Amino acid sequence: MTDTSASAWNTKPVGDSPEVAISLDMVRRGLIVVPVLAIICGVIWGADGVWSSLYAMALVFANFLLSAGIIAAGSRISYAALLSGVLFGYIFRLALIFFAVFIVRDAGWISLPAVGTAIIVTHLGLLVWELKYVALSLAYPGLKPAQP
């Protein structure tokens, strides 16, 4: 007698991995707002705010791309690898962001309020902005198809 639940976890998902396209699209949109957020942080926190916001936005972009890479790699292996990658990848990426901020916290060019604000605003802003471009349909997972 075979255990069918164990074999279901070893099955590979079928289809493309839309998360990479979505993450690249978010980074592309994020590059549009980099100057705006850097100027706003510069007005509030000065030159340190500009450098801090640029550092924070680079962390956010790297986080989105790393997330998509982990999901895409896990989905090529099995459902168990996909779910493990999502869970442990989230914890790993949070730790990376923490340590990336922790190692520069005493640098002369850093403004921690600017870093924190830029990380939160960039993450949430890009996720909300991307909702407009994501097809919430199983027929077109990922980005909406181009309109004719």
Local confidence pLDDT in tens for the 148 residues of the chain: 455 555 655 666 666 678 888 899 899 999 999 999 999 999 999 999 999 999 999 999 999 999 999 988 888 888 888 888 999 999 999 999 999 999 999 999 999 999 999 999 999 999 898 888 887 666 666 777 666 6
Is 80 part of a structural domain of the chain?
A: yes
Tally of domains in the chain? 1
State the distance between the two ends of the chain, measured CA to CA, in whole angstroms. 53
| Location of structure tokens 């998360």 | 19
Is residue 13 assigned to a domain? Answer: no
**Residue 117 · residue 49 · CB < 8 Å:** no
Residue 143: enclosing H or E segment and its boundaries? Answer: strand 142-143
> What range does the domain containing 126 cover?
33-133
Quote the pTM value. 0.82
